[in-house]
Structure 1
Amino acid sequence: MRVVLRILKLSVMILLFGGLVFSVWLTFIPPNGLLSATAYAAKMVCSNVFIAKREADAVIRTDVAFALPRIVKRLNVNVDTANQRVEATYHGLFAERYAQYEEGRGCTLASSDEVPHRAAPASLPGKSNALWPVGESAQLSDDKHLPAALNDPALQGPGMRAIVVVQDGRIIGETYGEGFNASTPLQGWSMTKTVNAALAGMAFKDGKLSLDRKNLFPQWAGDARADISVADLMAMTSGLKWSEDGDSPDPDGLENLAHDAAAFARDRPLVAPRGTKFNYSGGSSVLLARVWQNAVGADARAYPQERLFKPLGMTSAILEADPSGTFLGEAFLFANAHDWVRFGEFLRLNGEWNGAQLLPPGFVDYMRSPVPASDEGHGPVYGRGQLWLGPGQGFRLPADTFMLQGHLRQVIAIIPSRKLVILRMGLTREDIGYSVAKLLYAIVAACRSYE
């Protein structure tokens, strides 16, 4: 019996010591994966609570649980409404990460000792009852075919949050998921890339940047990366090492761990001669943002609002930045559905809005021009302005179809020949077989009667 008691006592001591060592490890050297998870939770809750005005519990149950299903129940997320700050920890003790909201600029990952900045609320224009795009009123179709397509659950897909159809400059159909409406800001994920490319285009128009500019960063001097051009970044043909695989460290490091996302992407090694290989890369988008910000200079922080969002009336749009001030042009633009389709309509109109040419003449055509290296045997899938080409992806849509696409089945399809812009946004798994193709086909078919 004494031997048994000693063994039990020793086992308990080993377990206690092991638990202590494990706790010390998590406290002082938490693994990157855990830090990335708590950072994601803090940032996602912060943006959706303070930008989208959603309830924190709903965001945790849906958006956070969707991305972190294995550990969401072990995460503690605390929202400090007074200081507009969110803290996320593992088991309430470990891997603490913070996200801080700033009016008009969204949420940024912050350290525990940073003093919250409490800016005065931004003054935004009031919403008009005029027809969209001047105001927010829709001119909905009374044809039964379009509403039938928009409200078909199989076409909507699981987790649908917004579908909006614009034809000839008017909203003719829209529907929203439970808990969402036309004024709810939604994260565009990689649709942000195309907006970021348009901002670079505005820097071209302002004479501050050019497609052929090279020697983009001093850190590239003296090696082959100095030959990478702005055009290479836009076309995703920089040759820099990058992986969009969710299991790789690159995306986590870029969005959730790196204080300076551009520096993280900038320091990737070159693995192919620039211009020769297509590699879809959030790192290229962040580098493009840093390049146009450097070119614009002191006005860069206000540039998206002043040059793009305000002229288009995108009053809900907020492009978030990393702690260093670099815009996260790969994924972090929040805007409501009406504002997202404003941007789509802007591209359909070749960069013109209210009679003003905001983008260089011909620039949207350049954005839509194919990247030959993106052809995997069925035609190029990607355009030179960080957008997708319908024919190369096999969509049975008019040949001039081009798209903004984002994680979790975000899409804006632009079909100039049909004067159509179609938006679908949601929280939809990408491994369940759902495709937006059938929705787009049904909408295009229903809209033929309006041509």
Structure 2
Amino acid sequence: MKKVFKFIGLVALAAVIYYGFETYPKLDLISGFSAKSIASGHFIDNRSVALIEKTDNDIDLIDLAKNSIDDAQRFATSSVYGLKERKAIYREGLGATLVNDDYDATKPYLVPKRTTANHNLAFPYGDQEPEKYVFDNIDYTKLNAAVENAFDKKGEIKKRTRSLLVIYKDKIIAEKYDTGFTKNSKILGWSMTKSITATYFGILQKQRNFDINKPVPFASWQNDDRKKITTNDLLHMNSGLEWEEDYGKISDATRMLFQSEDMTKPQMEKNLVGKPNNTWNYSSGTTNLLSGILRNQFKTHQEYLDFWYSSLIDKIGMHSMIVEQDMSGNYIGSSYGWATTRDWSKFGLLYLHKGNWNGDQIFDESWAKYVSTPTNDSNGIYGGHFWLNAGGRYPDAPKDLYSANGFQGQMVYIIPSLDMVIVRMGLKEEGEFDFNGMLKGILGSIKK
């Protein structure tokens, strides 16, 4: 019997050692994710620590973190078993930033200048409530049933949809929020922010004749084949640069988001492992590199900060939106854009109308076609920082559908052939949530 207990003890010890060996290197990332999530959710959307832990941080390993908030000093701290404590600070106008021990939080900083003109127009072009309109060709019973089906029933935590908004011909025809969320709730779009970042190149192209087909002039790339990489290649995630996008382990993506001081550099420093324009590989590092390229277009940091809002976000009335920064003052264009569901829908409407916002042409019509055209080697699933249905990803939706997608199932669907935008925000990815079924139900309510 003693031998049995000894064996069990040795197995248990081995399991603990293995768990510790596997988990300890991740602690910095775990506490980093948690601190950033707590600070952003609390200070941007006024959520309680308990609610963030129960929802946003309800992820394997992330739920190991212990968190605290300092409301007076406006920061959050997180650690795992008392180890690897990380801190995220909140600054008005900039959002929350995950910082390291060397960061001087007392140093002065610049904030973007915002415009919040109160247009006396109904949504989407103004700040007034949307006009109520009933379409003869919409079966509202079917539509409402499809929307209701996208949410959990009382007591369930399977679908975890937070909000769903359906716009048809510029009119809201369906809108629903989960308990605790409203039209004023700011929700993290995660990688939907990538599509925001890419849009600035369409704006630059229109404003300044920026040529996306020219090689990127990085000095460090000039002595090897990276000198052939263009902004177009980067926008298509088709640069051929090495990158590992895996959030289940320590990878290029997790090191960048939770350890880098300057997130524009990790992708820049990678080797070429493929052929530009022929080696598609999804990379958050690429988007943050694009943010760095944007920064290089301006003489001052203030101009860079202001451009993101004055040329797009505030110009189309996304006044709730905030894009957060890294420690070096770069917008984290890959991942950290927050906005209300209605404001996310405005971004979709801008593309639905091919860059025209109530008479103001934000980017050329050709840009909408550019981002929604499949890139080489993507099998029809990806364009210019937008996901596509050209390859039939959603069999029950039109092939011209394209979308801004984010972690945990954040979606802005643009469907030109149906004059429709659909926004779904939530906590479940494709595979756990039936996005094709949701689209089928909503689109099936339109009478032919």
TM value normalised by structure 1: 0.85
Measure how far apart 1:356 and its partner are. Answer: 1.0
* 1:100 counterpart SS class: strand
* 1:104 counterpart SS class: coil
Post-superposition Cα deviations, 1:252-275, rounded to whole Å, max 9, x if no partner, equal 111001111111111111101111
Measure how far apart 1:214 and its partner are. Answer: 1.3
2:141 is equivalent to residue 144 of structure 1: yes
Contact in 2 for aligned 1:351/1:360 (Cα 8 Å): yes
> Within 5 Å, which residues of 2 pair with 1:59-70?
59-66=52-59, 69-70=60-61
Which residue does 1:382 correspond to in 2? 382
Within the candidate set 256, 264, 267, 1:265 is matched to 267
Within the candidate set 56, 59, 63, 1:72 is matched to 63
* 1:334 counterpart SS class: strand
Instruction: State the alpha-carbon separation in 2 of the partners of residues 319 and 437 from structure 1.
Output: 29
Instruction: State the alpha-carbon separation in 1 of the partners of residues 47 and 119 from structure 2.
Output: 20
Which residue does 2:127 correspond to in 1? 135
Q: CA RMSD in A?
A: 2.6
Instruction: State the alpha-carbon separation in 2 of the partners of residues 64 and 139 from structure 1.
Output: 37
Post-superposition Cα deviations, 1:267-291, rounded to whole Å, max 9, x if no partner, equal 1111011111111111111111111
2:246 is equivalent to residue 283 of structure 1: no
CA 1:431–1:418 in 2, change beyond 3 Å: closer, same or farther? Answer: closer
Instruction: State the alpha-carbon separation in 2 of the partners of residues 244 and 48 from structure 1.
Output: 24
> Within 5 Å, which residues of 2 pair with 1:220-299?
220-246=221-247, 247-298=249-300, 299=303
Measure how far apart 1:391 and its partner are. Answer: 2.8
Measure how far apart 1:108 and its partner are. Answer: 0.9
CA 1:152–1:128 in 2, change beyond 3 Å: closer, same or farther? Answer: farther
Instruction: State the alpha-carbon separation in 2 of the partners of residues 321 and 124 from structure 1.
Output: 21
Structure 2 gaps, min length 5: 1-12, 14-19, 135-139
* 2:58 counterpart SS class: helix
Post-superposition Cα deviations, 1:69-110, rounded to whole Å, max 9, x if no partner, equal 33624x221211112111112234x21211111112111112
Instruction: State the alpha-carbon separation in 1 of the partners of residues 30 and 210 from structure 2.
Output: 37
Contact in 1 for aligned 2:114/2:309 (Cα 8 Å): no
Instruction: State the alpha-carbon separation in 1 of the partners of residues 309 and 114 from structure 2.
Output: 12
In the alignment of these two chains, the number of paired residues is: 413
Which residue does 1:360 correspond to in 2? 364
Q: Give me the identity figure in percent.
A: 28
Contact in 1 for aligned 2:119/2:126 (Cα 8 Å): no
Post-superposition Cα deviations, 1:141-178, rounded to whole Å, max 9, x if no partner, equal 66322212111246996110110001111111100111
Instruction: State the alpha-carbon separation in 2 of the partners of residues 185 and 407 from structure 1.
Output: 16
Which residue does 1:175 correspond to in 2? 176
CA 1:131–1:105 in 2, change beyond 3 Å: closer, same or farther? Answer: same
Instruction: State the alpha-carbon separation in 2 of the partners of residues 119 and 83 from structure 1.
Output: 19
Measure how far apart 1:297 and its partner are. Answer: 3.6
* 1:446 counterpart SS class: coil
CA 1:358–1:131 in 2, change beyond 3 Å: closer, same or farther? Answer: closer
2:411 is equivalent to residue 408 of structure 1: no
Measure how far apart 1:408 and its partner are. Answer: 0.9
CA 1:254–1:53 in 2, change beyond 3 Å: closer, same or farther? Answer: same
The one-letter amino acid of 2:377's match is A
The one-letter amino acid of 1:438's match is G
2:294 is equivalent to residue 305 of structure 1: no
Measure how far apart 1:194 and its partner are. Answer: 0.9
Within the candidate set 365, 368, 372, 2:376 is matched to 372
Instruction: State the alpha-carbon separation in 1 of the partners of residues 317 and 62 from structure 2.
Output: 40
The one-letter amino acid of 1:394's match is R
Which residue does 1:96 correspond to in 2? 85
Structure 1 gaps, min length 5: 1-14, 16-24
In proportion to residue count, which structure has more helix?
1
Which residue does 2:9 correspond to in 1? none
* 1:382 counterpart SS class: coil
The one-letter amino acid of 1:72's match is D
Contact in 2 for aligned 1:200/1:289 (Cα 8 Å): no
Which residue does 2:185 correspond to in 1? 184
Q: Is the deviation greater in 286-295 or in 387-396?
A: 387-396
TM value normalised by structure 2: 0.86
Instruction: State the alpha-carbon separation in 2 of the partners of residues 118 and 280 from structure 1.
Output: 32
Q: Is the deviation greater in 418-427 or in 387-396?
A: 387-396
CA 1:427–1:102 in 2, change beyond 3 Å: closer, same or farther? Answer: same
CA 1:51–1:111 in 2, change beyond 3 Å: closer, same or farther? Answer: same
CA 1:217–1:284 in 2, change beyond 3 Å: closer, same or farther? Answer: same
Instruction: State the alpha-carbon separation in 2 of the partners of residues 130 and 146 from structure 1.
Output: 23
